Structure 1
């Protein structure tokens, strides 16, 4: 089994830890270049197969960087409960890789009729909160560690919410002892889509209020990514650079939550590795400025 700390890794700086999503097009380049990164993140489900080339590559990456395992398939919000096979595979991977963090989404995909193959939003109700708390507790008991739950970019809405999303997520973390992964781009995408539906609130102000409602003690990681405008909807496609409005929100998030590990996500139209490293450098610079401003204001 690998040790808890990579053998050849030292933090890049004393500021905010910054990493990138390590995707297949960059497997070789990252191992050859070994750029200055505080961690790398992979999608858990891509490494569920026992043995094989993919797992061998991940183990090599883990020898040089801390690894964050980010899942898309736990379906933490499913009222029908968790898929035992999926949890078994995740537990095996966690034992093998000893990741620095484990995360998934505040969503559901499983139901009596099968698997939706998508991240669907849960209703913001007490019953849905109870179901998600039970599922998160089961995962944490199995993994023997907290997991971080990510806010969703949601393209449909449930009627008659009983609470707002920050209250739902804060209560989830309080009741389970878990953590939150705050995706800053998802916040902005949701605010833009609300505006397209007729909401008169300024999207940036809306997203800032959301951030201000989240308890800082729960936040374990921040995500940054690009999105695309498709006329009557904005899609969180992770296929472009982070836009200026999201950088502004990220600065606010760092001032709110402190030096939280930050990830650059890029999953479609993946560019050269240098582009992701450039975005990582910008994240470090924005975070450094935000922290310095907080110190001056204190």
Structure 2
């Protein structure tokens, strides 16, 4: 089965996920939730993997941090990769660990050449340990930072060129960052190295309670916005179909509602418009 559009897996939906008949359906999980020696979570994942392809989407390696990836964490990730043979493994263009302190967020950084070399080193360490290519996801940004030497798209392009990694393009993150930093999201998508894109994410966002639409929050607790669907349609038309995922982490709706969004993504992947249609 060739993966097309998938869903972020939630244990509450286990039975429905296992029984879903959709062609090309796959599921993504955060490996940090399954780094255990045994128990019901691993048994659940084993059953799911027996029916569908899996993707592991990490949040704990802190690849943009100054320190090398934690070897114990990396070893546990390697165990999961070996056991479940995911067709994709991904992480973030962000940091979350410093001097032994762990922060509950994916934090931004100035895109300097020094930061690029650090990221290259850390991605190389991870890919060597896992024995496979990983994908790196673009971040959601909320404020403009000083000190950048590279645009985000050029930084990602260089990272892919120097390490052989691929890219995971979250089009909701593109929409959120473009809104918050007053950028053109379509120009961002055009500037990406399309050949390096291995996966696409779709998710929902919400306006900030105080600032409203001036500041969008990557909340993952709402349906995919129409503006994000439009960006996804454009990216598929420009770069071609890639495995695409619907992310939903809060205010979980019925499984059927998530599948409806997943089916919409699958339909776009199956019949992409020509990029010329946007000219």
TM-score (ref. length: structure 2):
0.93
Conserved? CA contact 1:126–1:162, under 8 Å: yes
The runs of 5 or more residues in structure 2 that have no matched partner are: none
Q: 1:105-124 residue pairs with structure 2 within 5 A?
A: 105-112=92-99, 114-124=101-111
Conserved? CA contact 2:141–2:180, under 8 Å: no
Conserved? CA contact 1:121–1:157, under 8 Å: no
Instruction: Call closer, same or farther: CA 1:83–1:113 in 2, change over 3 Å.
Output: closer
Aligned-residue Cα RMSD (Å) equals 1.7
- The counterpart of 1:261, out of the listed 243, 246, 253, is 243
**How far apart are residue 156 of structure 1 and its match?**
4.0
CA distance in 1, matches of 2:260, 2:173: 21
The corresponding residue for 2:38 is: 51
The runs of 5 or more residues in structure 1 that have no matched partner are: 1-9, 196-200
CA distance in 2, matches of 1:113, 1:177: 29
CA distance in 2, matches of 1:72, 1:296: 37
Matched, 1:175 2:166: no
The corresponding residue for 1:284 is: 266
**How far apart are residue 256 of structure 1 and its match?**
1.9
- The counterpart of 1:133, out of the listed 120, 125, 139, is 120
CA distance in 2, matches of 1:171, 1:284: 30
The corresponding residue for 2:50 is: 63
Conserved? CA contact 1:106–1:122, under 8 Å: no
Q: Which SS does the other structure have where 1:234 is aligned?
A: strand
TM-score (ref. length: structure 1):
0.88
User: Once the two structures are superposed, what CA deviation does each residue of 1:219-266 show, in whole Å capped at 9, x if it has no partner?
Assistant: 000000100001322111111111111111001110122111100111
- The counterpart of 2:82, out of the listed 95, 101, 109, is 95
User: Once the two structures are superposed, what CA deviation does each residue of 1:123-180 show, in whole Å capped at 9, x if it has no partner?
Assistant: 1100001001000000000000000000011234431210100000010010001000
